Structure 1
């Protein structure tokens, strides 16, 4: 028979183990560290890179300053690799776009607006295209859900 002095220790050890296991699960189960608006981002758990920068090791995983996970993925039909939200090949090199984007949209060098169907959208760090919005991708991604999970929710 156990003394009452031993019971609280066992109980606190069990409680500690449960809390510890929950903390490990919470961290391990999070595919990206998404920071609420206005909060300081936490230090990502690996190398910090910039979206669309060239990379060398296909399949490598890194993080953006905001904690989102990115992958070193191949640009289709080239030998180039870039950091992307998706593991799928990029349809074209985001670094060779003939336009630039800012908070007001995307424009060619002559100032004319780039039609949404000719843009890369969220995948390249641009404002969402109308397809990104209509499919629900933009809303899903803005909620902090990883890009690939949002992409998987889109209708086929």
Structure 2
């Protein structure tokens, strides 16, 4: 009789383990609501269609699908506020140091988007402390709120 009791205990225990193994993945899927889903991978300045969406760059920085002011265009931006210019229609190119017009002349800072568009910082970005904060890895919006 003791053999039968032990044998029944083993089956109940095995049955419990099987059920637990099946329920754990289901519980994690059921709990994965919108907040638990990973943000989409995005590219800074690229056009986007999911207005108001939050994404992540490959380096982990947060970006937002925002409207370009006075247009119907939406782009991935460091800021959740509408941006003043379409970074895809700039008539100049930038490297890590400066931005230049096609003729090779330097683009004045007041005509550039700066950090917000992934360009080298403008004088304003530097003097306000925005650049120093952003270089620490903090989100653009956190840095912007610190300098206001």
Normalised to the residue count of structure 1, the TM-score between the two structures is 0.69
Alpha-carbon distance, 1:144 to partner: 0.9
RMSD across aligned C-alpha pairs, in angstroms? Answer: 0.9
Larger Rg: 2
Kindly tell me the number of residue pairs found equivalent between the two proteins: 111
Separation in 1, partners of 2:134, 2:97: 19
* 1:1-156 alignment, distance < 5 Å: 45-155=38-148
Structure 1, residues 110-141: CA drift from partner, whole Å, max 9, x if none?
A: 00000111110000000000100000000000
Please list every run of 5 or more consecutive structure 1 residues that lacks an aligned counterpart in the other structure: 1-44
SS in 2 for 1:72: strand
Normalised to the residue count of structure 2, the TM-score between the two structures is 0.73
Separation in 1, partners of 2:62, 2:96: 23
Alpha-carbon distance, 1:46 to partner: 2.7
Separation in 2, partners of 1:76, 1:110: 28
Higher relative helix content: 2
Separation in 1, partners of 2:97, 2:132: 19
Alpha-carbon distance, 1:104 to partner: 3.1
Alpha-carbon distance, 1:95 to partner: 0.5
SS in 2 for 1:82: strand
Structure 1, residues 52-80: CA drift from partner, whole Å, max 9, x if none?
A: 00001111011101000100000001111
Separation in 1, partners of 2:80, 2:60: 17
Q: Which 4+ stretches in 1 moved above 6 angstroms?
A: none
Please list every run of 5 or more consecutive structure 2 residues that lacks an aligned counterpart in the other structure: 1-37
SS in 1 for 2:126: helix
Separation in 2, partners of 1:50, 1:111: 27
